[in-house]
Structure 1
C-alpha cells in the first residue's frame, strides 16, 4: 500500500471568507464548491485543502460545533520560505516570524482567518 499525500479538511462556518483568504493572501485557487457554499476544494501547486461547513453532511461533524478546534499545525513545505514570508507577513496574523530552528527547519507560522495555524517550512541548507 502506498500513501500519496494527505488532504486536510478544515471546518469553517464562513466559507466564502475562508476561500477569499486562501485565494487573496496565499494565492490558492478554488477548484470547486457546491451551490450552498458548504464545501470547497482549493489548491496551490501540489497542496490541496478541503473546506467544509460545520453543518455539511459529514460523519465527523458535531452538532455542538462552535468554532474550529485543531491543536496542531498544517505544515506546508516550500523552497521559497523567505520569499513567501515577504508576501504574506503583512496580510495575515503572524504566529512566529521566519527563522531557523534547532531541528533543522527554516519556517514561519501564520493563522488563517479561522485561527488554523499554517507553517511554511524548508530544511535548512535546502
Structure 2
C-alpha cells in the first residue's frame, strides 16, 4: 500500500485525549478518511482489526501508535496539505468509535510545500 514520505498528520491535545479514551475502551484503532459523502468526509476511527486497508489507501502518518489512512482519490486532492486531527462537539460518524461521545473528530488543513 502506498505511504507518504513524511507524516502529514498531527493532532491537537483534545484529539489525543479523545483518542486515548477510545483506545482504553476498544484497544488499538486506526483512522481512515475516504472522501465519500456524509460520514466518509470525516476521519473515521475503527478498531484496528475491523477495517481492511485497501491497496490504494495512503498512509499519511501516525498519531502515536495510531495510523491515519486516506483513500487514494481524496489523497490526490489533499496531497499538498498537512492535516491536524481535532475535536469538536457533536456526533461522530455512524460507524466511527467517536460516535455517542458527544465529541467528534475532524481534520483541519494547512497547505504544505509542493515537491
TM-score by length of 1: 0.26
Scaled by the length of structure 2, what TM-score is found? 0.27
Larger of the two Rg values belongs to structure: 1
Higher relative contact order (CA 8 A, sep 6+): 2
